[in-house]
Amino acid sequence: MSVLAKFVPGPGRGPIYCEYRYVRERNEGEDDLEGRLAEPKSSLPLGTRICLLLATGFGTGLSPIAPGTVGSLLGPPLVWGVQYFLPIWAYWPVAGLVLVGGTIVCEIAARHLRLDDPPAVVIDEIAAFFIVYALVPVTPATAVIGFALFRLFDISKVWPVSLMEDFHGGVGIMLDDLVAGFYAGLVLTGIFVATGTVGPITDDRTSTLPHRSAVATLQFEDYEFGGEDQKHAREDY
């Protein structure tokens, strides 16, 4: 089953109205159901419209080509913003809010679209990046490598990612991406630990708050403590 969804602004129809066309594949003992066109959803409750907007990653999931990959592009910048602008203790509360909220949004969107796992719903891919970067700061290098690793595991559905498809509803939509994110994060963290860094160490990395103490520790090791060197090390921290 596939879905073509469009968010189209229109006068007198609220900020957004949705028009969906459902095309259902022929199942055994079932007639083809093609061209099933829903009425414009101008009367949708505001809460449902907000859920659909979030579920599609603000419309990125409506891309006609590789919607999951296009929607995933929002993941690294979102996590970077949380790491950079919020204190270290806020990372997991925000991640938990995104994961739980994303599961609810996926459930609402799946019911509304009448699909088990709508391709336009990409908030699960976006939320998974909180797992990918749980132990690694988002830098230009880790953003590219983490993104590539996540898409590799998500698309290939290696075990046990494939087992998560047995779950249904919002939980099922979210779980396979979280497991793929765990695999990607595991490999990325291994690279990060083995090499000391993924990309050059710069002062910008110290501003990634969840990892500030770890980076500062690495910088301390570069100094021979005593006299002016110790003073400068403390100032750098």
Question: How many domains are there within the chain?
Answer: 1
Q: What is the DSSP string of 46-92?
A: HHHHHHHHHHTTTTGGG-SS-HHHHHHTTHHHHHHHHHHHS-GGGHH
- The verdict on residue 216 lying in a domain is no
Q: What percent of the chain has pLDDT over 70?
A: 60
Pick 173 or 6 by higher pLDDT. 173
pLDDT at 212: 42
Burial class (CB in 10 A: 0-12, 13-18, 19+), 127: buried
- The verdict on residue 229 lying in a domain is no
- The verdict on residue 10 lying in a domain is yes
Please tell me whether the overall predicted TM-score, pTM, comes out greater than 0.75 for this model: no
- The verdict on residue 62 lying in a domain is yes
Lowest mean pLDDT among 34-43, 63-72, 167-176, 191-200: 34-43
Per-residue pLDDT for 97 more than 60?
yes
Pick 22 or 176 by higher pLDDT. 176
Q: Specify whether the backbone of 20 is left (phi greater than 0), alpha (psi in -120 to 50) or beta.
A: beta
- The verdict on residue 236 lying in a domain is no
Model confidence at 186, pLDDT cuts 50, 70, 90, reads very high
Model confidence at 155, pLDDT cuts 50, 70, 90, reads confident
pLDDT at 48: 84
For all residues of the chain together, what is the average pLDDT? 71
- The verdict on residue 234 lying in a domain is no
- The verdict on residue 190 lying in a domain is yes
- The verdict on residue 53 lying in a domain is yes
pLDDT at 163: 65
pLDDT at 15: 36
pLDDT at 69: 93
Domain that holds residue 128: 2-200
